[in-house]
Amino acid sequence: MVSINLGVLHYFLDHMYGAFVHRTKLSTPFFSKGWGGSKLDLLESLVKQLFPVSEVQNLPPIMVQPIWKMVWETKNACLREGIFRTPCEERLISALPPESYNARVAFLAPKLVPPQKMACVVHLAGTGDHTFERRLRLGGPLLKQNIATMVLESPFYGLRRPRLQHGAKLLCVSDLLLLGRVTIEESRGLLHWLEEEAGFGKTGICGVHAAMVGSLHPRPIATLPFLAPHSAVVAFCEGVLKYATAWEALREDAEEETGMTLEQAKQRLRSVLSLTDVTRFPVPKNPKAVIFVAATDDGYIPKHSVLELQKAWPGSEVRWVTGGHISSFILHNDAFRKAIVDALGRLQWRVS
């Protein structure tokens, strides 16, 4: 009875937070500027070009070459920050705001161990995670196990946030698809750099977009989607974020051309966001090195969404932490770290 009551409390807290932040006028909603016009058409076509799924794991590698500066170093570890031009094709770059052209990364690594005997995990941002600090705190204790942490600042976040955007509230639907596609391309470039340039013996990816990146990578890597849906549909059309969506702005933007009703606007958003459905992507090279960490009472990401992706990727594992979406980010860092260690342990060391 106690555990049930606690679960209800966590779920209630997610919805209370969502109601306060998203239903009041204190916060600008997502997609307040509408669909994104021709940018949305471009992004839809580019996503569809990733298929058939039999070919996407054979995409050519993406090359990045970060320019590094030392932030601090001790006898055993160092923290560097790097910057590189986003490696995306020109059509994507032209759709990005200028603030997002350059990617920023933080790189926390041991100093006394050769790279071929270390692992490194690229940590991707969750919604609203604008800085490096939280993810560096998550990865810091892993240094003792010779696991380095690389943190990518997402496009549209942090110093890459467009001037007119408030917080994490993307202005257009096209921005959401663009954020995802650019994050995938930049992550692919960083993984290639870690493997080929830095020479790390094992690599991994964690965060909201981790499943897509792990699916597309041509080699086995640890893939750790943390509190992540199988599709943006469940986040924006079913979970708490549906209260943060500017439905009327979407209806009005489309009405000028099609006379769309509010219900039709909702169906149109579901259709667009279905392009992010990771169950359509190929199974990663080593599905046993895929560990989903999900919350038992998540008001943002329903249980069925996590289980759908696990079903699509036989051999993958789901681990449940007790709590809601927000409380889990605060209370369960040890569970996230253990998942990282265990997923990397299921990989073979690369032979250079």
Residue 113 lies in a domain: yes
Q: Is residue 350 part of a domain?
A: no
CA 286 to chain centre: 20
Over the stretch 140-177, which tens digit does the pLDDT of each residue have? Answer: 999 999 999 999 999 999 999 999 999 899 999 999 99
Q: For residue 211, tell me if it sits in a domain.
A: yes
Task: Report percent pLDDT > 90 for the chain.
Answer: 76
Task: Give the Å distances, CA to CA, from 224 to 175, 179, 204, 221, 342.
Answer: 24, 19, 8, 10, 10
**CATH number of the domain that 60 lies in?**
3.40.50.1820
Residues 156, 166: Cα–Cα separation, whole Å: 10
| Residue 349 falls inside a structural domain | no
Number of domains observed in the structure of the chain: 1
Residue ranges in the chain modelled with pLDDT below 70: 1-26, 50-56, 257, 352
Which residues span the domain enclosing 224? 2-343
User: What's the pLDDT tens digit per position in 10-66?
Assistant: 444 544 555 555 555 567 899 999 999 999 999 999 887 766 555 667 778 899 999
Residue 205 covered by a domain: yes
Q: Does some domain include residue 348? A: no
Would residue 233 count as lying in a domain?
yes
Separation of alpha carbons 334 and 352, rounded Å: 32
